[in-house]
Chains A and B, each alone.
Chain A
């Protein structure tokens, strides 16, 4: 999928010169430099070509040894492994930070209710939860299990974390992704409109709304929705299902019920990033619209609507996609707090409870899974960038 670029061409060969063939490996800067003199040996082209091919093969071998040349996507994914390992350490340390552990907090509870616990029982409990081991071993135990899909045991719920987490994570994912789609669907057209009609009344209005949207904490917006929902529509808003469907098995009706509830968290979570995205897109587009290549296109006779969509938009969308990746943490954070306010069956509330109860495996696994979610999102946005912008593919 990687096409060979020959930077040597750009610097060494005069334009009229016959361009080199594509025999060389995907060239680094160093390749281009070393290939230069050979390329210029105009009279003995045949020999030069042979020489260069040999050189190229040698270089290819070196490159392969030094750094295995893989498609961009694979390289990006391999690069995620150390990141994930590092993140898992950070998360483990943070989760371990509170003084005491699940056993002490359980003991406190038991003693408060007057139950006597012997020292031996305590030791047993600790051994059962691996708490008597060195923290490094505890970490290895946790992450080792995590890698093979066993996220450990939740003391708080007295159930394996796996059983607790998947459905909630699914809803988290659903809300985050729909919030992201909402962001796209709203921010892109409004951002374009705002830029093309710069300084119009609509532009000012949208900018004002975006500013307020930017400054409103998601939980406050959720509270306002609760208030409006009750005052205007007379219904308590919240949850992802009506009571009659909450425990019901999946059916078309339950799905429909979910969809009628979904839009509120979607809007609440997505509004902030919609505002950011709209402003970024507007600013980028305004920058691009001033660039000479837009004038070139205008001079070619390209019509206005096509002009904006085909040229500046294609380029303005780049930083947009990369910030979209960076907005994922914000969306996930927003979802966490909104789900607590709106009482949604997602990971947010569970995380808060687990943290307060020092339920380490549960809390750690939730944060870890959210981090993985974000990293996958970043990966996707990077791949999308590479797909849309040829300059990145060639790096």
Chain B
């Protein structure tokens, strides 16, 4: 038949077909996802900021500026009354108490010009609890700078968001790592052993998936003793988030495992005499990891949103620990929000981080699928 004796492909395509490895193909597919690429960059920046938050933040999270309580965000400026300045600066605030509402009102004062100094000294901090220093990426010379305003204690929201990023973003990853372990353990065991074990695990997974997540999280968090140290609470919350998060991953792992076991190339490998470990490591694992990593990426938002919700309710992380959820706890009623809407800014960061993880996950999923030619552009 003609199919068996297909003529050589046209010369044009030949070079293209000959030299591309699966990894390169996956990278190519991923690169086509421009949004995923952008998301990867955004996440990279966010994690770098979180990693070096002591350096980047102009203040420590607990530093109070009594001259600016509930102050609105400041804009960075280049134009003063006398024209353009290369060195950016901010204007300090004049505060007066509105006699009708008894609320503080701030107006920028052109007279109080605070130029920015880069890598200058400010609050003391200890980078990673190792390197004591007073250097900051930027400080306002002779005054103060609150890019995102301050809260009701006069603490800098921008600095607190950066410190919060460290906790919120790391708890997402830590939770996913734990979820991953549980998911692969249960999913793999179910998929590998099959039979009654498989059915039991599957049933267990179905039950856990049907539970009202947040109420149970609430119940579990309420069980965390008040006397625990911040670190213990951090790990406690991580464990709680993973406890209800692993079924999603386990179900996917199991499904992949079962599907792969039936795949012709795995059976072929076995028939050719490959040992069990070789089949698992050489044939199954590469097919398996890409999907699992994708699933894990898509699970990070679940963790971040969970932490935020619990801390917001006051039963997750607790002050003095700073996380995005803890920060938003300050904005629980409408009076506060109307007066100081910038206290909702941590929420914007939650949205950005979660969206970036979702998009990155989408891109990875498409890249991991070898059958996705993505030709329809």
Contact = CB atoms under 8 A, between A and B. Distances in A.
A217 B303 CA distance: 12
Contacts of B216: 90-91, 94, 367
B368 to A, nearest CB: 16
Contacts of B351: 212, 215-216, 220
Interface stretch (B73-81, B135-143, B275-283, B328-336): B328-336
Contacts of B337: 223, 226-227, 230
B212 A356 contact: no
Given A98-B222, A227-B337, A220 B212 contact: no
A211 B218 contact: no
A371 B344 CA distance: 32
Contact of B312 (A219, A238, A371, A375): A219
A311 B356 CA distance: 34
Contacts of B352: 215
Contacts of A223: 328, 331-332, 334, 337, 344, 347
Chain B interface mostly? helix
Interface string B223-238: 1010000000000000
Among A99, A220, A336, A352: residue with most chain B CB under 10 A: A220
Given A217-B305, A217-B308, A220-B328, A337 B338 contact: no
Nearest to B305: A217
B213 interface: yes
Given A217-B350, A220-B328, A337-B309, A352 B218 contact: yes
Given A220-B344, A356-B315, A230 B214 contact: no
Contacts of A95: 219
Contacts of B323: none
A87 B211 contact: yes
B44 interface: no
A347 to B, nearest CB: 8
A77 to B, nearest CB: 14
A49 B331 CA distance: 77
A91 B309 CA distance: 20
A85 B1 CA distance: 62
A355 B350 contact: no
Contacts of A326: 209
A264 B301 CA distance: 25
B220 interface: yes
A188 interface: no
Interface stretch (A132-140, A177-185, A295-303, A327-335): A327-335
B212 A332 contact: yes
Contact of A97 (B223, B328, B332): B223
A355 B218 contact: yes
Given A214-B355, A356-B315, A236 B210 contact: no
A367 B212 contact: yes
B244 to A, nearest CB: 9
Interface in B182-221: 203, 206-207, 209-216, 218-220
A90 B247 CA distance: 15
Interface in A232-248: 236-238
Interface in A342-373: 351-352, 355-356, 358, 363, 366-367, 370-371, 373
Contact of A224 (B218, B223, B312, B344): B344
B178 interface: no
Contacts of A86: 207
Contacts of A237: 334
Contacts of A356: 222, 315
B208 to A, nearest CB: 8
B55 interface: no
Contacts of A90: 207, 211, 216
Contacts of B219: 91, 94-95, 97, 355, 363, 367
B321 interface: no
A83 B204 CA distance: 9
A215 B355 contact: yes
A209 B332 CA distance: 25
Contacts of B225: 98-99
Interface string B307-322: 0110011010000000
Given A87-B207, A226-B334, A378-B210, A98 B223 contact: yes
A98 B315 CA distance: 13
Given A337-B309, A340-B313, A351 B358 contact: no
Contacts of B305: 217
A227 B335 CA distance: 9
B370 interface: no
B354 interface: yes
Given A223-B337, A230-B338, A237-B334, A215 B354 contact: yes
Give 4 nearest A-B pairs by CB, closest first. Answer: A333-B214, A215-B354, A97-B223, A226-B334
Given A231-B338, A329-B212, A370-B215, 15 more contacts: A87-B207, A97-B220, A98-B223, A214-B358, A215-B354, A217-B308, A220-B351, A223-B334, A230-B338, A336-B215, A336-B218, A351-B215, A355-B218, A366-B215, A367-B212
27 contacts: A87-B210, A90-B211, A91-B216, A94-B219, A95-B219, A97-B220, A99-B225, A215-B301, A215-B352, A215-B358, A217-B309, A219-B309, A220-B344, A220-B351, A223-B344, A224-B344, A226-B333, A333-B212, A333-B213, A340-B313, A341-B332, A352-B313, A358-B222, A366-B215, A367-B215, A371-B211, A375-B210
Interface of B: 203, 206-207, 209-216, 218-220, 222-223, 225, 301, 305, 308-309, 312-313, 315, 328, 331-334, 337-338, 341, 344, 347, 350-352, 354-355, 358-359
